[in-house]
Amino acid sequence: MSTLYLVRHGQARFLTDDYDRLSELGREQAKLVGEYFVKEGVAFSHILSGTFQRQRDTASGALAVASAAGIDLPVQAVLPGLDEYPADTLMEFLLPRVRDVDAATNRDAEALETCKEERERYRLIHRLLESVMRSWIAAEHDVTSAWIPTWAEWSGGVRAALQECMKVPRGSSVAVFTSGGPVGVAVQTLLQAPEVPAAELNWRVFNASVSRVTFSAARVTLDTFNETGHLPRGLRTHR
């Protein structure tokens, strides 16, 4: 049997002009992931990440700790199928269309326009993104005209990337540094759940959490989901 470790990136700079960068807390979370792997004594045969900076920097931060502990590491590979869904583009294109047909979404959007309190802004943005994601998954609007992949195309790309990650010799240990969306799709696929729970799982994936999958040519099993034991309570974040 082989083991796949799915690691969500550390906290990024949410509600800033450059979300695709780790915050200082996110960098600390990445180091704690590395300490977790050292403590577990994991010797990775393969290391992969998506192309996003926050994913690659989480990998670099974690692996620097492992390397300093004397662990030999393979060269990190980049796989675009491990990238997060295009949240900003989806919000820009779909939100006006969802507002037109859903009164609750329209009220939340109007409230966000005047909201100044950060916690409340976060809550409203999250609810709007949930509405947009449901519309995207249900294919209620043609997003291809805006050069946005459909949900089926994006989630299918994630599944194909994960299958590629598992094309390794028996007994391999594979580290995958990715985002909450791909982790949700992975779990939803393994549990054979409906599509919407994949997005709902995404909301619950902690930054720098670890989910473990055991696999062979004949079987794939989810062993753990969203492990955070390596993160002190004060360093457990969703955004």
Residues 41 and 115 in one domain: no
Residues 154 and 228 in one domain: yes
Residues 78 and 100 in one domain: no
Number of domains in the chain: 2
Which of 146, 161, 190 marks a domain boundary?
A: 146
The CATH number covering residue 164 comes to: 3.40.50.1240
Residues 186 and 217 in one domain: yes
Residues 126 and 205 in one domain: no
Residues 130 and 171 in one domain: no
Residues 57 and 13 in one domain: yes
Single-letter amino acid, residue 176: V
Residues 69 and 156 in one domain: yes
Residues 81 and 155 in one domain: yes
Domain span including residue 95: 87-146
Interval 66-105: pLDDT, tens: 999 988 889 889 999 999 999 999 999 999 999 999 999 9
Residues 219 and 154 in one domain: yes
Interval 60-76: pLDDT, tens: 999 999 999 988 889 88
> How confident is the model at residue 25, as a pLDDT?
95
| Residue (of 34, 69, 40, 1) closest to 177 by Cα position | 34
**pTM for the structure as a whole:** 0.92
Residues 128 and 162 in one domain: no
Q: Which residues of the chain have pLDDT under 70?
A: 14-17
> How confident is the model at residue 177, as a pLDDT?
97
> How confident is the model at residue 17, as a pLDDT?
64
Which of 95, 111, 146 marks a domain boundary?
A: 146
Residues 126 and 182 in one domain: no
Question: b vs e for 101-140, b when ≥16 Cβ sit within 10 Å of the residue's Cβ?
Answer: eeeebbebbeeeeebeeeeeeeebbebbbbbbbbbbbeee
